[in-house]
Amino acid sequence: MKVVDPYVAVPEINGVQLLRNIEEAGRVCYKSEDAITGESYYPFIEKILKLGHESIFEHEKVTARIVCDRGVSHEIVRHRLAAYSMESSRYCNYSKGKFGGEITVIRPFFFPEGSKEYMVWYSSCKDAEDSYMRLLRLGRTPQEARSVLPNSLKINRHLPYLAITLHK
* Model pLDDT for residues 95-130, shown as the tens digit of each residue: 999 889 999 999 999 999 999 999 999 999 999 999
Q: In this model, does residue 81 exceed pLDDT 90?
A: no
Contacting residues for 24 by C-beta, under 8 A, at least 6 apart: 33, 36, 63, 158
Residue 111 gets the label, from left (phi > 0), alpha (psi -120 to 50) or beta, of beta
Contact criterion met (CB below 8 Å) for 89 and 30: no
Residue 119 confidence (pLDDT): 97
Q: In this model, does residue 11 exceed pLDDT 90?
A: no
Whole-angstrom distance, CA of residue 154 vs CA of residue 5: 9
Residue 126 confidence (pLDDT): 97
Residue 163 confidence (pLDDT): 40
Q: In this model, does residue 144 exceed pLDDT 70?
A: yes
Return the bridge partners of 160, or none. 63
Give the pLDDT mean for 30-52. Answer: 89
Residue 82 confidence (pLDDT): 61
Q: In this model, does residue 167 exceed pLDDT 70?
A: no
Whole-angstrom distance, CA of residue 71 vs CA of residue 48: 28
Give the pLDDT mean for 4-22. Answer: 77
Whole-angstrom distance, CA of residue 91 vs CA of residue 153: 15
pTM for the predicted model, two decimal places:
0.59
Query: What percent of the chain clears pLDDT 90, i.e. is strictly above it?
Result: 38
